[in-house]
Structure 1
């Protein structure tokens, strides 16, 4: 496993889909049979065009009273009321679907979930066809990496990107996901760089920077005052 996780590493690869013309009952049966809360809707070519969730189906329950049904027919422009009158997946679905590529990073997936206020993303390939589903809980898998493995990943990152000559100048230990950096480097800017690189490794909860340095090269010299 690389120290940079992607959506492909954590997604559920088995995707249950519905067709645009699938009936309300067909979609309900899919959700129940596979114990999922939403399914992507695909067009005849297999490309994702929307998503139907349990919430979409429950609109039927919300507006099932006779006087509410009449309001559905009069004002189909309201999304919830329109879905209450829906009989097919195409009418039920929320479109366009919120999708992401399998090579996207976990932070990118988290930002997309937050921005669109959804609990899952449909993962699609370059052809627009679904290859997986990634949920909020899937993104937590990086934080389940054992501490010893995480320490190795942090050290690899430091050795690969850092600018100091001695690969053993910095030592890494990880406890409960917190990376502890010890050792000595020549310049303060390198210590700052090491902490930043360690924090960028997926699964690191925090960084305890205990590095010491010989020279503080981050302090700016005073500007010459005009005479």
Structure 2
């Protein structure tokens, strides 16, 4: 079973980039060929030095025949906005939303480019099979949240919607289980009929 937790789990590993010496013509051709609206610009060491976008090209090269004289290094936006490969999917989604980004370069601990994550990549969590989600929920419930013999909880998943049922020793635990279930990647909604066990 594969738990989708981090950017590394969903990012595109095959990366298209340019170096700082690439002229406008090459940048535009690369964007056209791959259908990207922005490209990471790499330093000699493979680190992300900046990002060049269609907006950069239009704003800085407008009205000039700069296709050969202006380079990615001159056009790129710095400092680049990147996301660590170990960042959570939720953190990457917040960063994209805040900056209105469609895609972000993914870097390792040394700042080297290792992938690219897009909005579509982040949405992959909602394509997780129900069986994977159910298995992760069972693992969370039985090994981390519910001490053995203290509850009888079952989680059923249908198109990402979790239905939790059964009984627990403490009413507060029922609320905890529902909150935790909502954090599992791929879960769309959670309904619960969990109830507290009546003392004998």
Q: TM-score, normalised by structure 2?
A: 0.89
Match for residue 109 of structure 1 among 92, 108, 112: 92
Partners of 1:93 and 1:167 in 2: CA distance: 58
- The answer for the alignment partner of 2:145 in structure 1 is 162
Instruction: Name the TM-score, length of structure 1 as normaliser.
Output: 0.79
After TM superposition, where is structure 1 displaced by more than 6 Å over at least 4 residues in a row?
none
- CA 1:2–1:168 in 2, change beyond 3 Å: closer, same or farther? farther
**Using the alignment, how far apart are the partners of 1:52 and 1:167 within structure 2?**
56
Paired residue for 2:129?
146
Give the 3 Å change call, closer, same or farther, for CA 163–51 of structure 1 in structure 2. same
Larger radius of gyration: 1
Aligned Cα root-mean-square deviation (Å): 2.2
How far apart are residue 4 of structure 1 and its match? 4.5
**Unaligned 5+ residue runs, structure 1?**
70-82, 216-227
Q: Secondary structure at the match of 1:169?
A: strand
Q: Which whole-Å CA distance do the structure 2 matches of 1:180 and 1:199 have between them?
A: 11
Q: Displacement, 1:59?
A: 2.9
Q: Structure 2: state its 5+ residue gaps.
A: none
Which residue pairs with 1:211 in the alignment? Answer: 194
Give 1:149 deviation, angstroms. 2.0
Look up the match of 2:25. Answer: 25
Deviations 1:165-194 (A, max 9, x none): 238710010112111000001111111111
1:94 match: secondary structure: coil
